[in-house]
Amino acid sequence: MHGLREEYRARLAQIGLSGSRIGTTQIIGVSGRDITIKYHVRTNVREWLLSERDETPTNDFYCFICFSNLPTVEPDDWLVPGKIVNVVLRRSHLAWLAQPESRVRQQGPLRKFRLDYSAQFPELRSEYGPGWAEPFHQPSAWEQIR
């Protein structure tokens, strides 16, 4: 496993996330980077809840983690620059508001960060369809922090 990745996972374990099913925490990285960690226990759906305030660039990075119920299975993680998360949340929320539905969509505080937006928003498929977040899933993604 990669060094920085190990360090952040160890820091997560130290602050007691192992008993939680879903949550958020902030940690400051070795290079003073502000990282928001969003995590949940592995499910078939790869999405995390964020809020309207996450559309505004304030965090350097977001780390999205899927922990397994099995202690022998490594967690999956995606380290995504905050500026990319901000844009993705804004674009997907605008697509959600524009969907033709039987009821009028209203502005609300919740946002969803997904690894694939194509099922819900076909118009986002080319930019945020299957595999768009794969570069942030690689161990080399952690080099962004240095």
Structure tokens at 43: 């499910």
> Per-domain residue ranges for the chain?
3-145
Segment 82-102, tens digit of pLDDT: 999 999 999 999 998 888 775
Segment 28-87, tens digit of pLDDT: 555 667 778 887 776 666 888 899 999 987 888 888 888 777 777 777 889 999 999 999
Question: If you average pLDDT over each of 8-22, 38-52, 110-124, 131-145, which comes out highest?
Answer: 110-124
Paired residues of 48 in beta bridges: 113
Q: What is the pTM of this model?
A: 0.79
Give the count of beta carbons closer than 10 Å to the beta carbon of residue 116. 18
Confidence (pLDDT) at 19: 44
| Dihedral angle over CA of 22, 30, 113, 122, nearest 10 | -150
